[in-house]
Amino acid sequence: MKRTRIASLLLALLLSCSLWVPHPAKAAAESGILSVAGDNAMLLTDGSLWVTNALGTTYDKLNLVSIAGDDNKGFGLTRDGKRVSWSIVEAPKVDEGTSGVRQVTADGLMLKNDGTVWTDNGPVKELRGILQIASSGNAVAAVSQNGEILYRANPDAPFNVIGNIANPDSVRSVAVVEDRTVLLYDSGETVLYERFNFDERTLKIVPVTLTTEAVHIAYANDKTLFVTLRDGSVWTTGLYQDRYKLTNRIEGVGEAVRTVPVEDGKNAYVQRKDGTWVRYSDGETKDVKAPAVTSVEIHVSNAAPQIGDSIVLNIAEKYSNGALVKLPLSEAKLTIDKPHLLKPQEGGKLKALGVGEATITVASGGAAKSVSVVIGTKTALQYAVLKDNVVYLPLQPVVKALGGTSTYAAASKTFNVQLGENAITLKIGDANAVANGRKVRLKAAPRVENGMAVFPAHLLADTIGAKVAWDAKLKQAKVSLGKASLTVVSTETAALAKKASQGSLAQYIGRTYWVNHFQQWDRFMKVTVADILPDNTGYFSIVFKSASGKTFTTYSMPASNVANLFADSYYFLAYDPYKKYNWPQSVWSQIKAGNVTLGMTKEQVLLAWGTPSSKSAVSGSGTTVETWGYPNFNFVSFANGKVVLVVE
């Protein structure tokens, strides 16, 4: 019962492990089970392999044709003749240097196409011209082309011939465990060779026929032989005294074609004729199914790309065993409802081709998942026109931005437009159009404006369901397709948008100031605000012009900083200091250099050093001494309004 509980636990692990694993080219939902190796490995009919071990669950497309092993280790054979191995602590991998292999045993022994048998250390010298091999633990058995049945009890023992048969090509399979070797013939005859069952006179092993109706044989580790008969029943040999008899029938199992024991005679996987499998354990059976896709998960790297952007689509399939399997885009059953907007690219990416809302759907097995991508454009198009209450849009730029194509026949002045599945024909100067083979009367004829062909915007609503709105404030058109939108500006939009962004800051344009302390510009230079430029982040740059016509542009700043800059005389003066103060040039030179000298007035010190951080005054003998403090412990003292002391 303890062994049964362990097997059940391992099986549950295989059927419930939730991990990210690599994805094969074909989903398990479309495949059945081909074979198993213990409770932790399952080979599917598409050649892919599930393995659960200490690392978790791996799911690899290795193009296998067979597997063998137990819960601790396993081996597989690829379709192109290479060995695959895994263990309780290693994920499945193709073993380097293995090729030309046609059979792999549960212990990793390799029978090659040339009849040689190999271990990881090289060829087994005694085995040449071999047709079939089997190994279990230390025991190895083989059938040669000349009909010899070879057996070795352990790696230190030599190979002995334990029998000779006349028809070695008719041997379907060989099974071995400790001192017992069994041959199954195509006829169904099953013959047991036991090392200690020999004729005392000739010392030759006496073969014992167990049945003539077998289709499959397999040994468990406890020497129990599982025999599957033609009638679909499964039998096992008995204890020692009944080891030559099929004494026990596995109840509840019918229509069987093969059996894979798990450790002992009480646990096994059984495959039915219809390809389905059951797990037999201590008299009870339970259906075993290949993991199937139950749901699909999709994640896009950017659900709101711009035209020209590439997005990465991450797809995963969730299986009935809880595993989450990554699915490459190139192998996904992918559909895009508007393929003119999104196009798959090499490297598993999608490229945004046009403005709009596209739905991506991935289907796998009976599951499907959809995700929407809203595609925009980095810049607005030019130029929209409102004339006689009709909104016109530039034809070729708009068609291209919407992921469509257009061709122009100059002789007939005709445009042929393709927008997704919609085919449209327009002619300059003609209000009659054709949309999807249907005649359409436009509100106005297409025309030429600003050197380009324009068309009535309502045509987009009539053909692709777009909504077109005119913004009277900014004089621009907005084309909406679901959550996606495209803006088309007029020749007046830029100026209107700029003015709207400037708001109250426009009042400063044209005003004249004199630089005090700002960006190391020349002090007391006369500048006039030429413009206040908004950017697309809500910040503004101030453009000044000097008296000589030279342009100076500030760094970007919030709107509140613009107003504060002009209000603070530390940065800019609202008056001409040279006219306000008629001081000698020598004084101006000291002020501009930031120097305070004896005899300077308070106004001159303010211009030289700025507003003090502290003030104090002391009076005595009819004189008041006032002291101003500045950062870095700088001080200046005044007597009768003139500087009498400077400390720097």
Which is it for strands 385-387 and 122-123: parallel, antiparallel or unpaired?
unpaired
Q: Pick the closest to residue 163 from 207, 97, 114 (CA basis).
A: 207
pLDDT of residue 29: 38
pLDDT of residue 25: 35
pLDDT of residue 207: 96
pLDDT of residue 642: 94
pLDDT of residue 16: 35
pLDDT of residue 348: 82
Q: Model's pTM, two decimal places?
A: 0.69
Identify the residue whose tokens are 């200490």. 54
Phi first, then psi, for residue 644 (nearest 5°) are: -120, -15
pLDDT of residue 443: 96
Residue 613 and residue 82: Cα distance in Å, rounded?
85
pLDDT of residue 185: 98
Residue 478 and residue 460: Cα distance in Å, rounded?
12
Q: Which two tokens stand for residue 254?
A: 């019918």
Residues of the chain with pLDDT under 70: 1-30
pLDDT in tens, 39-67: 999 999 999 999 998 888 888 889 999 99
Beta-bridge partner residues of 456: 392
pLDDT in tens, 308-324: 999 999 999 998 888 88
Identify the residue whose tokens are 């039915």. 272
Mind listing the domains of the chain with CATH numbers? Answer: 1-98 (no CATH), 126-212 (2.40.10.360), 218-289 (2.40.10), 293-375 (2.60.40.1080), 381-491 (3.30.457.10), 496-578 (2.30.30), 581-647 (3.30.1450.10)
